[in-house]
Structure 1
Amino acid sequence: MFAHLSVTPTFISNLSVFIALAPIVSVRHLDITMFKTLKEIPLLQALEDAGIYEFLPNHQDNLAFYEICSKFGTVCDDIIGFFADMKVANDNTERLPTILAHEPGGTSTLNMKHWQQMTDYLSYKVQKFNYGKEGNMANYGHSTPPVYYMSKALGSVSIFREIRIDLLI
C-alpha cells in the first residue's frame, strides 16, 4: 500500500484511514535463507521457462504437511524456518493446523524474483521490478526501475508494529 500511495498519492483520499501493520520499507538487511538458495539454483527461472508462473500455490497438501509436522516436529520447524525465515520455537504450534490451512498462500514467480532483488539492493531503496536494461526500457521507459518515494505517501495513516521486528528498518 505504501508503494501504491507513493505512486498515486491521491488514492489516500479514497480512505478514511490507512491502518498499516508493521510497514516494510526495505528488506535489504534481511538474511533470508530461501532467497540465497533460490539465487544459487535458478529455480524461479526454470519454473517460468516451463510455463509455471505460480510459486507455492495453496493446495490441499498443506494439511498433509501439517500431519507430517505433527509427527516430525523438528523437520517441520526447519522447513518452515527455511521458507519463512522464522524461529518456529516462538510460535504457538497449536495454531499450525489453522496457519497451514492457508499458508503458503502462493504467489507468482515474478513476485518471488522481486523479493529476491529487494534483498540484494546495495542501498535501502524500494523500487519496482528490475527486468534488465532492455526490459526496463520496454516497461518503464528508462534503463533502471523507478524508485518508490515513501515520502509521497501522505494522509491519515495509523501504524501498528511490534517494538522489535526484523522487517522494519
Structure 2
Amino acid sequence: MLQYVYDQSNQQKVHYVGHSLGTLIAFAALSDQQQHIGMLRSAGLLSPIAYLNEVSSPLAIGAADVFLAEALHWLGLDEFDPTGTAVHNLLTTICKLPGVDCYDLLNGFTGGNCCLDSSSVQTFLAHEPQASSTKNMVHLAQMIRRGIIAKYDYGDATDNIKYYGQATPPVYNVSAIPDDFPLFLSSGGRDSLSDVKDVKRLEQALQSHDSDKLTVQYLADYAHADFVLAGNAKERVYEALMAFFRLQDK
C-alpha cells in the first residue's frame, strides 16, 4: 500500500498515520524493511501497539489465555468474525471468566474512554467490530503471551524455517528505526490495549532517538477509542499531529 501511494503521488515522501494495529504495521515496516524509510517523511502513531505483555484489557487477556483465535484456526476458520456463531460462542465463554465484565463491551475492551458521546458510540457500534484474519488474531495473542514484537509463529520449526530461514520467528528491533526519522507518539493513561507500561518500554527502546525528531504526547484521561472517536480529539490530538507533520515539511 505504501509503495502504491508513493508511486501514485509521483514519488513524494509520505506522512504515515496509524492507530492501534496500524502502528504495529508501521513499526514492522520501519524496523525490518529499510527500503520503506525512503518513501516516508514521518510517522504519527496513536495508541501505539508494539509490546503487549502489559495489556490490561480483560477481554484481550481472556482471549489470549484461552487460545480463542488458535481454536478457530485449528477449526479451519480463516476469518475471525466477531458477529459469527463460532466467535460468539467462544466470547460467551470468555465473558464468564472471573474479572471479565462484558456488559460494557467497548470500555471492557479498550479501557475507560473519557470523551465519547452517545452518537459517536452508536456510529461505532453500527460498523464495529469488523472481521479480521484469524491468523492476525493468533499473531496478536502470541505477542500478548510472549511479551515480544516478532513475526507470526507458525508453531513448527520446519514451517518457520520455510518462511524465515530460521526455527523461530524473527524479532522486530524497534531500536533499529533510524534515530533521525521523525516520530510522533500519542498514548493514553486509561488505555487497556496500549498500556502505559508497554508504551514506556517502547519509549525506552527509542531512547537513542534524536530528541528533536521524537514527539511524545501523553493524555492521562484518554483510552484506546478516544483517539479516533472522542469529541475533543481534534483539539487534543489532531491539531498537534498536523503541526508535527507541517514541521517535517519545512
Q: TM-score, normalised by structure 1?
A: 0.72
1:58 and 1:103 in contact (8 A); partners too: no
The one-letter code matched in structure 2 to 1:143 is A
Q: In the aligned structure 2, how far is the partner of 1:91 from the partner of 1:8?
A: 37
In structure 2, relative to structure 1, the CA distance for the partners of 1:98 and 1:165 (3 Å cut) is same
Q: Displacement of 1:85 after TM fit?
A: 4.1
2:148: which partner in 1?
125
Q: Displacement of 1:136 after TM fit?
A: 1.5
Q: In the aligned structure 2, how far is the partner of 1:30 from the partner of 1:53?
A: 25
1:136: which partner in 2?
160
2:53: which partner in 1?
28
Q: In the aligned structure 2, how far is the partner of 1:86 from the partner of 1:101?
A: 20
2:63: which partner in 1?
38
The one-letter code matched in structure 2 to 1:120 is R
- Larger relative contact order (CA 8 Å, sep ≥ 6): 1
The one-letter code matched in structure 2 to 1:47 is L
**SS in structure 1 of the partner of residue 56 of structure 2:** coil
Q: In the aligned structure 2, how far is the partner of 1:81 from the partner of 1:127?
A: 28
C-alpha RMSD of the superposition: 2.8
Q: Displacement of 1:53 after TM fit?
A: 1.3
2:55 and 2:61 in contact (8 A); partners too: no
**SS in structure 2 of the partner of residue 30 of structure 1:** coil
2:170: which partner in 1?
146
2:79 and 2:131 in contact (8 A); partners too: yes
**SS in structure 2 of the partner of residue 19 of structure 1:** strand
1:65: which partner in 2?
none
| Counterpart selection for 1:4 from 29, 34, 40 | 29
| Runs of 5+ unmatched residues, structure 1 | 60-73
Q: Displacement of 1:45 after TM fit?
A: 3.3
In structure 2, relative to structure 1, the CA distance for the partners of 1:92 and 1:54 (3 Å cut) is same
Give percent identity, aligned residues only. 29
Where does structure 1 differ by over 6 angstroms across 4 or more consecutive aligned residues? none
| Counterpart selection for 2:106 from 74, 80, 89 | 80
In structure 2, relative to structure 1, the CA distance for the partners of 1:117 and 1:75 (3 Å cut) is closer
Q: Displacement of 1:11 after TM fit?
A: 0.8
In structure 2, relative to structure 1, the CA distance for the partners of 1:46 and 1:2 (3 Å cut) is closer
1:17 and 1:158 in contact (8 A); partners too: yes
Q: In the aligned structure 2, how far is the partner of 1:21 from the partner of 1:41?
A: 28
Q: TM-score, normalised by structure 2?
A: 0.51
1:9 and 1:152 in contact (8 A); partners too: no
| Counterpart selection for 2:72 from 44, 47, 55 | 47
Q: In the aligned structure 2, how far is the partner of 1:126 from the partner of 1:91?
A: 30
2:48 and 2:187 in contact (8 A); partners too: no
Q: Displacement of 1:22 after TM fit?
A: 3.6
| Runs of 5+ unmatched residues, structure 2 | 1-25, 85-100, 201-250
Q: Displacement of 1:161 after TM fit?
A: 0.9
| Counterpart selection for 2:42 from 1, 11, 17 | 17
Q: Displacement of 1:80 after TM fit?
A: 2.8
Q: Displacement of 1:26 after TM fit?
A: 0.4
The one-letter code matched in structure 2 to 1:135 is D
In structure 2, relative to structure 1, the CA distance for the partners of 1:57 and 1:13 (3 Å cut) is farther
**SS in structure 2 of the partner of residue 45 of structure 1:** helix
2:3: which partner in 1?
none
Q: Mean Cα displacement is larger for which, 111-120 or 99-108?
A: 99-108
